Amino acid sequence: MSSVPLPSSRPALGLIGLGAFGRLIAGPLARHFPVLAHDPTASDDSGIEGVRLTSLAEAATCPIVVLATPVAALPEVVAAIRPYLRPGVLVLDVGSVKVVPADVMRRGLPAHAAIVATHPLFGPQSAQDGLRGCRIAVCEVRGDRSRRVAAFLRSALSLDVILTTPEAHDRDAAASQGLTHLIARAMLAMEPLPTRMTTRSFDLLMQAVEMVRHDAPEVYDAIARANPYAEEVRRRFVAQATRLTTDPVQERDRAA
């Protein structure tokens, strides 16, 4: 690992996790911060300009620390970085759900750490043409730093920022994200599906399927199980689908 000194004019950013999403955001962040990244599975060279691989301890001592790890791994990661976090540090996560990560960070991080929970509503597929205009949810957890984070995300990364709470986020995401992934996984399990004899609406549905096809299993696991509102949304969806299947005449009359 390189020991090249960091420029002193800009605060360093520690990025914990260089999976598909960590690599997606590492480049854009490196245009604004010296990025020190840690991932035990990464090679000695990140291959991303402005990003230097380092130890967990060094990454965690940065003034800003971004946790780009699976939601299920967050308690372990929080416990590992806790001893190295300096007073005034800002810690952010990028998980697909927010109630559970917010609680894990609030309980596990020291009181001197400001905490902002975020959910980038995009991934490698949906942001393949760049981050401009992509949406991101930002939730204050501790320390009154969320509006400064939101201002940076808007001005520097051109993101569409939604200021919300972990609870409000998860209520909405249980439907907007949970149903998308549920339907997509069901359709993937039904392949092969038609590719020529299709309608425009079917093509659009398949575009949505393609956007989540290569998501890591941990993403769906978090969306389906770590969101406290997801089970009720799934139950309602299945009930409606069953009703349409078992009594189509009644549903036709109701629609009329």
- HSE-CB of 127 using CA atoms within 13 angstroms: 24
Task: For the chain, give the mean pLDDT.
Answer: 92
Write down the pLDDT at residue 4.
44
pTM: 0.88
Element (H, E) at 93: strand 90-93
Inform me whether the pLDDT recorded for 190 exceeds 50.
yes
Dihedral sign of CA atoms 139, 143, 148, 153 in order: negative
For domain 13-165, give the CATH number: 3.40.50.720
Beta bridge partners of 65: 14, 91
Give span(s): CATH 3.40.50.720, the chain. Answer: 13-165
Inform me whether the pLDDT recorded for 1 exceeds 50.
no
Q: Give the strand pairing for 135-142 and 114-120.
A: antiparallel
Given strand 35-38, what is the order of strands in its sheet?
A: 51-53, 35-38, 13-16, 64-67, 90-93, 114-120, 135-142, 160-164
Element (H, E) at 161: strand 160-164
Give the tens place of pLDDT for each residue, 101-137.
Answer: 999 999 999 999 999 999 999 998 889 899 999 999 9
Element (H, E) at 241: helix 230-246
230 token code pair: 């997801």
Rounded Cα gap, residues 217 and 77, in angstroms:
19
Phi then psi dihedrals of residue 156, to 5 deg: -90, -40
Rounded Cα gap, residues 154 and 162, in angstroms:
10
Task: Please give the average per-residue pLDDT across 222-249, as a whole number.
Answer: 91
The answer to whether the CB of 14 falls within 8 A of the CB of 66 is yes
Write down the pLDDT at residue 47.
86
